[in-house]
Amino acid sequence: MSDRALGKVYRDGEEIVRQGEVGDCMFVIQEGQVEVLSELEGEAFRLGQLGPGDFFGEMAIVEKQARAATVRAVGEARVLTVDKRTFLRRVQEDPTLALNILRTLCHRIRALDGEVAELREQRNGGAA
């Protein structure tokens, strides 16, 4: 891992955010991988894995709500914390940043829509 990066290094399995906590910042993965987990009725479900350049926790920048998922390091990961003030300043400096984030969020919503449709189809025994 590079010593020049600004982010914090998390060890394998270390939690970066915990589902249910209220957050006020987002995170950008600089190096390594993280996994996103959702806990339901005491059981953890893996929602996905993110790598360098990916971000998470962005909803906390827009609305101060409880975190929707737990995110933890897979191996060693360097992650940069971005508070609301820094985010807004960067968007003013480069408005395409906001567009890129919206593009990523749209991609995530489409993927979730597909998963929901697939689960509905399985639940209904394949009948559409």
Tens-digit pLDDT profile for residues 29-64: 999 999 999 988 888 889 999 999 999 999 898 888
Question: What would the two tokens of residue 70 be?
Answer: 């737990």
Instruction: Yes or no: say if 55 and 107 are a contact pair by the CB < 8 Å rule.
Output: no
Confidence of residue 4 (pLDDT cuts 50, 70, 90): low
State the alpha helices, DSSP H only, in 38-77: 59-62
Q: What is the average pLDDT across 83-88?
A: 92
Whole-model pTM: value is 0.81
Residue 126 host element (H or E): none
Residue linked to tokens 């996103």 = 36
Q: What does the pLDDT read at residue 69? A: 94
Q: Is the pLDDT of residue 5 over 80?
A: no
pLDDT number for residue 125: 81
